[in-house]
Amino acid sequence: SVCVPPPRLSALRRSALCRPRPGAAPRRAMATKPLVAVGQVTSTPDKERNFAACAGLVREAAQRGACLVFLPEVFDYIGCNPAQTLGLAEGLDGPLMGRYAELARDCGVWLSLGGFHERGRDWETTQRIYNCHVLLDSMGQRVAAYRKTHLCDVELEGRVSMKESSFTNAGTEIVAPVSTPAGKLGLSICYDVRFPELSLALQRAGAEILTYPSAFTVHTGSAHWEVLLRARAIENQCYVVAAAQTGQNHEQRTSYGHSLVVDPWGAVVAQCHEGPGLCYAEIDLEYLHRVRREIPVQSHRRHDLYGTIGL
């Protein structure tokens, strides 16, 4: 449950690190519960440097037996300004996503790529991008893509100024939870954590794990990060997995970090602190269903009443 630094890698392609030695027992053969790995990185405007850092974490997680690796929002890069952010963006069929698909295949793991700067089909007309959470299976196939529906337009006087909507299109739909080797995964991104309606909709659709890849600022993270994530876990009786950006991304931007995993009771069962690295957690679905049986809040909901105040 502590942050593990990524392995040192040469500049050469090292995908062979992901493959088991000839004659070795298959990974996860002795595991009774699926293991997930949560990555914490410091993205910069340098896409090649960022890929090397993320790939190192994925390879390390694969060697330790993780079946699903989570990377944070803007894992691909963090631009210094909107013009640079737009200029570096790619489509989902571009070369960077192709490299991540190859990485997933080589390592035999699923990848939650938590916030990709996507040039969508409307790029030529809008000149705006999408903040897209991409889920790849262990064959490198894209099985889901969720475009962030709640954009972070926040003004904390003298501390934080963000206007994501100035260069990003809002997504228009919630993506149904996806069956993964760890459980049914509901996709969200960062600022979405402040809207419990989204997580409740995903839980009603069958989600067992909610994921919030993020790039929280230090000001908002120190006040709200853990309490929001624990609240989403408790009210939905789901695991919550939140990979995060950490440290100084560039001269104008510092991220809070503290990637974590919360269980369905609301306990933090794995957490990173400062600096890039990984934390790990087992997903115990039997425990999840026990929590739901013992406190059956979903069946106690009064949908006949909600939304009727004052009518």
Rounded to whole angstroms, the Cα distance separating 51 from 103 reads 10
pLDDT score recorded for residue 174: 97
The pLDDT of residue 27 is above 50: no
pLDDT score recorded for residue 58: 98
Is this model's pTM higher than 0.85 or not?
Answer: yes
The pLDDT of residue 29 is above 60: no
Positive or negative torsion for Cα 209, 40, 15, 140:
positive
167-192 pLDDT per residue, tens: 899 999 999 999 999 999 999 999 99
Contact 187, 288 (CB under 8 A): no
Contact 191, 160 (CB under 8 A): no
Phi, psi dihedral angles at 271 (to 5 degrees): -160, 140
Please give the positions annotated as active site.
73, 148, 190
Homologous superfamily, domain 35-297: Carbon-nitrogen hydrolase (3.60.110.10)
98-117 pLDDT per residue, tens: 999 999 999 999 999 999 99
60-92 pLDDT per residue, tens: 999 999 999 999 999 999 999 999 999 999 999
The residue among 184, 105, 108 whose CA lies nearest residue 144 is 184
Contact 17, 63 (CB under 8 A): yes
pLDDT score recorded for residue 311: 56
